[in-house]
Amino acid sequence: MIRRTILYPFLFIVFGLFPLIGMTSPYKVQEISHLEINSAISPATYDYLKFQFSNVPDGALILIKMNTPGGLISTTKDIITLIGSQNKPVVIWITPEGASASSAGAIIAASAHFILMSAGTNLGAATPVGLGEDILEKDGRSKALNDLMAMVRSLSQLRNRPAKPFEDMIETAKSFTDQEALNLKIIDGVLTNGKTIRELLDQKSFSLQGKPMQLHFIPEAISKIYEPTLGQQFLNVIANPSTAYLLFLLGVALLFFELHAPGGFIAGGIGASLLVLAAISFQVLPVNWGAFSLLLIGVVLLVLEVYITSYGLLGLSGIASLVAGSLFLFHGQGGFISIKYHILISTILGIGTAAGIIIWFLIKDKKEQNTHGKFLLPVGSRGIVLTIAQGEGSNCQIKVRGEIWRGNSQFPLSIGDHIIVTEINNQKLIAEIKKVDKE
């Protein structure tokens, strides 16, 4: 009796529960979400993927079309961590014909749950270059290579792929064509005419965060393209290391010019904007803080446009800073940009129109006063006498264009007389005036 009491539960565990261990759960694909990497791997690439991953619904298959020459190792590791944290399978598709996933692209591909290639593409050549001066030394090079090789080896084992080809990509800069990669079983298929993603991946088994799963495409599964926003496209341009470095050098040069010949604020304002953009590109300044700085610089430049003769340069620079700051301001968990584009455009158009009207009036005023050479001074403007100096009829206070000036006339005046300003004594700040008839 005791034996039966022990034996029956044991047999139930062996024959009843053990077969359930290792069974795969179906992952029903309801949407194929199309993303694209068609540039060097940079912080902008990570921002784009992070933002779009958060928008992709549950039950989606994330399909990343890739064509990249490589990029930053630090950003590559961030993207690998991002892919590993997803509860949705990720597919790297190297396309179109002639495309490649080189260097950082090959390492990112190793982290994907599935890898597909189009005919005429290649994968590999992941030996790091330009990681600093220590990479030239034997120990430094070995350290960098071993670190990357261990990473791709771990990723290959996790995705049930042969690790040796990926190690060769890093150690000897090996690169594989689509057919070579398929023969080595490091990719899941080659997309040629007549073949679809569903045909290649349906019923494929994979591991999602440690859980065995199997892909199942439902008949009504849809395809949706996730385009980068304007802010992401702009960040992708300035995040290029060469572009960021040029922005930095140009910003420093303009600030040096402003300090060397102060007073105009044009070079300094533009230089400050470029330095903020460079700081965002270098990831020295968080995007939100950089955006706020650009907005402040834009407002200051627009205010300075009223007081400084820049012929619109300060105004245009201010509007450009406002636009860039607005695109970057709401970068965060809520999305790369939370402002509706029609609100942003209408606001910028309103500010630009107001600044344009002010600039037009200033230019018009300058043209009217060109014969006097007194820009922004009330020369030629009409006013009224407010007070008369005691015992004198020629020295007085006048109000002209809403401003109070000391006035001097060759002829006696009375309070309330209408006058016109004929000249300004810049040393004494006294307006030379003469009496005129009331209009």
Summarize the confidence of residues 196-223 as an average pLDDT: 89
Give 104-119 pLDDT, tens digit per residue.
899 999 999 999 999 9
For CA atoms 139, 144, 150, 156, give the dihedral sign: negative
Segment among 139-143, 159-163, 381-385 with least mean pLDDT: 139-143
- The answer to whether residue 13 is domain-embedded is no
Instruction: Confirm if 44 and 277 have CB atoms less than 8 A apart.
Output: no
Query: In the structure, what pLDDT confidence band is assigned to residue 429 with cuts at 50, 70 and 90?
Result: confident
- The answer to whether residue 279 is domain-embedded is yes
Concatenated DSSP letters of 50-109: HHHHHHSPTTEEEEEEE-B--B-HHHHHHHHHHHHT-SS-EEEEE-STT-EEETHHHHHH
Cβ-in-10-Å burial (0-12, 13-18, 19+) of 116 comes to: buried
**Is the predicted pLDDT of residue 339 greater than 70, yes or no?**
no
Q: What is residue 4's predicted lDDT score, i.e. its pLDDT?
A: 57
The residue range of the domain holding 246 is 231-368
In total, how many domains does the chain have? 3
Summarize the confidence of residues 236-247 as an average pLDDT: 78
CATH number at residue 141: 3.90.226.10
Strand bridging mode 122-124 / 175-177:
antiparallel
173 and 193 share one domain: yes
277 and 141 share one domain: no
- Residues whose CB falls within 8 Å of the CB of residue 272, separated by 6 or more in sequence, listed in order: 251, 255, 297
Summarize the confidence of residues 367-377 as an average pLDDT: 55
Answer with the one of 181, 206, 226 that is the final residue of a domain.
Answer: 226
**Is the predicted pLDDT of residue 254 greater than 90, yes or no?**
no
Query: In the structure, what pLDDT confidence band is assigned to residue 83 with cuts at 50, 70 and 90?
Result: very high
292 and 418 share one domain: no
Instruction: Confirm if 215 and 199 have CB atoms less than 8 A apart.
Output: no
Answer with the one of 180, 210, 226 that is the final residue of a domain.
Answer: 226
Query: Residue 197 to residues 99, 115, 202, 373: CA-CA distances in angstroms?
Result: 18, 11, 8, 74
- The answer to whether residue 217 is domain-embedded is yes
Give 87-102 pLDDT, tens digit per residue.
999 999 998 889 999 8
Segment among 1-15, 47-61, 151-165, 229-243 with least mean pLDDT: 1-15
CATH number at residue 397: 2.40.50.140
**Is the predicted pLDDT of residue 40 greater than 50, yes or no?**
yes
Look at the block and give the residue holding tokens 């690169």: 175
State how far the Cα of 79 lies from the Cα of 187, in Å rounded to an integer.
19
Q: What is residue 363's predicted lDDT score, i.e. its pLDDT?
A: 64
243 and 351 share one domain: yes
Q: What is residue 137's predicted lDDT score, i.e. its pLDDT?
A: 53
**Is the predicted pLDDT of residue 202 greater than 50, yes or no?**
yes
State how far the Cα of 349 lies from the Cα of 319, in Å rounded to an integer.
9
Strand bridging mode 418-425 / 382-388:
antiparallel
**Is the predicted pLDDT of residue 148 greater than 80, yes or no?**
yes
311 and 255 share one domain: yes
The 10 Å CB-count burial string (b at 16+, else e) for 3-36 is eeeeeeeeeeeeeeeeeeeeeeeebebebbbbbb
222 and 235 share one domain: no
